[in-house]
Amino acid sequence: MNYKDVYEEWLESPDFDEETKAELLSIKDDEAEIEDRFYQELEFGTAGLRGVLGAGTNRMNKYTVGKATQGLANYILEQGTQDKGVVISYDSRRMSPEFSKQTALILNANGIKTYLFEKLRPVPELSFAVRELGCTAGIMITASHNPPKYNGYKVYWDDGSQIVAPRDKDIIGKVRAVEHYSEIKTTTEEDAREKGLFNVVGTEMDDKYISVLKKHIINPEIMKQEGKKLKVVYTPLHGTGNQIAERLLNELGMENVYVVPEQKDPDGEFPTVSYPNPEDKKAFKLALELAKKVDADVVLATDPDADRLGIYAKDTATGEYMDYTGNMSALLIAEYRISQMKEKGILPSNGMIITTIVSSNLTRAIAKEYGLECIEVLTGFKNIGAIMKKAEENKDKTYVFGFEESYGCLIGDYARDKDGIAAVMALCEAACYYSSKGKTLWDAMNEIYKKYGYYIETQVAIVKEGSSGAQEIKNMMTKMRNTKVEQIGKYKVTEFKDIEQDINKNMITGEVTSTNLPKSNVLYYELENNSWCCIRPSGTEPKIKLYMGVRADTQEEAQKDIEKLKQAMVDIVEN
């Protein structure tokens, strides 16, 4: 059926309630809106199911959530792991509580035990809880950092990581096999509780999660000492972060933590920000105002599901608050933790840093400095989790640190997703340590650059919405895939990777080898002088994303180079 046929089916079928039909009737004269809502079904991308709230197959609603859950239930039953159960959490977005409870009851109707958090909790605690409870899977109702009109549905497997190939494809196959919404099983909470299937997770999981995080502090005494005077401003951006963060920092000895009052409480409308994303400088407006008022040393923000962290740190030389990219904050944490582990003799000899191919090449330099293996994977923290799982099974490598440029890192192996709460803790510890040496976090960042060189990265997102936009993005990727790019700006291309076609071509010798990466719609250009570019469609938003990075001997030179490279890359893609 085409999109119009599916639209009509939703209007006529008894499977859909009157409220849904009324919403759809209100757009009966808007052909473009009807097409956008029904031209496809939501699919699992790098972060699971995610879409705009509303009626339609291409929207997040109780029917698409129900179909996804029934398909997942069918998969779990096929695996025979239903007795292990599924743990479910959710964030502060609209419909998150409703979707989470609906998900639990559909699983219960299929004879699958569930553990539903009593109220909203962050993504990293959900990942931790999967392992702690020994569940077969976990589900997080969240759209992460997306605007308020979005919600989403992340699926985790028994290792605490988001599902990866081929399991993700198998699960979506089961979802697609649910042809009629009438196939979705239902039950009541009362019946599910009587059968021991519906269980509630309370604050005892918070205690366990916080206890594990505390064990990853390297210099607890310094943190207590410097925590008496260091000032930290924190905002959860109306999300889940402050369910844990403020308590954790207080227990570690941070006595001057100021939570932005206007953004402290969960609110799915995100009334003080248009885009609840710590990557967006505008999201820090209220936090920076508070920081200046209390003369804070560090300003921190987590996104609604608290897996990402943004940071500003005060430069005492100028009095200005300096912003960090995701690469900068993660690698500051990495350099601090790894150097301290080496100093204390606890750095494993078989240690590894895991990052993504679109993250900073500074990672390679830090890994080399400390004798660690640097492993690069495709975008998406689930791919980092897959390497962690393999190492755990083989017992041949020890996880030290992992991160991706999109403001997310993980300091330990207690979970399998990026952890903004742990990152808050780690940055506060680093700030305390450097304070004890008479330095700020900004001083520490500049010392890293002086030690390794000035690595700067940036990205550009070209937005193409709707079905026509999806085709435009596809055409852009096809054009770039079939164009021989030998130079980008002033840099010669030394190596070209078409990861979807598993081609790794040396542009100097012409030799073609394997990429040794899972197939994915990604094009990567290795350039001269430790520089690079990468192109891929977003897995969760209607965008084609361009990433790039350079290395130079001075900050000024690096900044000029990255701007020129960015413009050169945009010109190639758009022309």
Q: Which pLDDT score, from 0 to 100, does residue 214 have?
A: 98
Give the catalytic positions in this structure. Answer: 144
Q: Which pLDDT score, from 0 to 100, does residue 354 have?
A: 98
Same fold, 209-452 and 454-574: no
Q: Which pLDDT score, from 0 to 100, does residue 45 have?
A: 57
* Average pLDDT over every residue of 528-555: 92
The yes or no reply on domain 40-201 and CATH 3.40.120.10 is: yes
Q: Residue type for 48, please?
A: G
Q: Where are the domains of the chain?
A: 40-201, 209-452, 454-574
- How many beta carbons lie within 10 A of that of residue 447, not counting itself? 14
Strands 114-117 and 198-201: parallel
Least confident of 44-58, 99-113, 247-261, 321-335: 44-58
What is the tens place of the pLDDT at every residue in 77-108? 999 999 999 999 999 999 999 999 999 999 99
Percent with pLDDT over 70 in the chain: 99
The CATH number, out of the four listed (3.30.310, 1.10.3430, 2.60.60, 1.20.950), of the domain defined by the range 454-574: 3.30.310
Give 505's pLDDT tier (boundaries 50, 70, 90): very high
* Average pLDDT over every residue of 217-246: 98
Q: Which pLDDT score, from 0 to 100, does residue 73 have?
A: 98
pLDDT at 493 over 90: yes
Least confident of 173-177, 338-342, 346-350: 173-177
Structure-model confidence comparison of residues 471 and 78, the more confident one: 78
Give the separation between CA 230 and CA 501, rounded to whole angstroms.
51
Percent with pLDDT over 90 in the chain: 91
* Average pLDDT over every residue of 278-287: 96
By CB atoms closer than 10 A (0-12, 13-18, 19+), residue 445 is: buried
Q: Chain-wide mean pLDDT for the chain?
A: 95
Q: Which pLDDT score, from 0 to 100, does residue 47 have?
A: 57
State both tokens at 98.
Answer: 């409703």
In this prediction the pTM is 0.94
Please choose, from the candidates 231, 446, 424, the residue with its C-alpha nearest in 3D space to the C-alpha of residue 309: 424
Q: Which pLDDT score, from 0 to 100, does residue 546 have?
A: 96
pLDDT at 176 over 90: no
Strands 398-404 and 408-410: antiparallel
Q: Which residue has the tokens 């990495």?
A: 334
Give 361's pLDDT tier (boundaries 50, 70, 90): very high
Q: Which pLDDT score, from 0 to 100, does residue 284 have?
A: 98
* Average pLDDT over every residue of 333-343: 98
Q: Which pLDDT score, from 0 to 100, does residue 116 have?
A: 98
What is the tens place of the pLDDT at every residue in 403-425? 999 999 999 999 999 999 999 99
Q: Which pLDDT score, from 0 to 100, does residue 1 have?
A: 83
Opening angle at CA 424, ends 418 and 429, nearest 5: 120
What is the tens place of the pLDDT at every residue in 362-386? 999 999 999 999 999 998 899 999 9
* Average pLDDT over every residue of 152-178: 92
Give the separation between CA 129 and CA 132, rounded to whole angstroms.
5
CATH of domain 209-452: 3.40.120.10
Radius of gyration of the chain (CA): 24
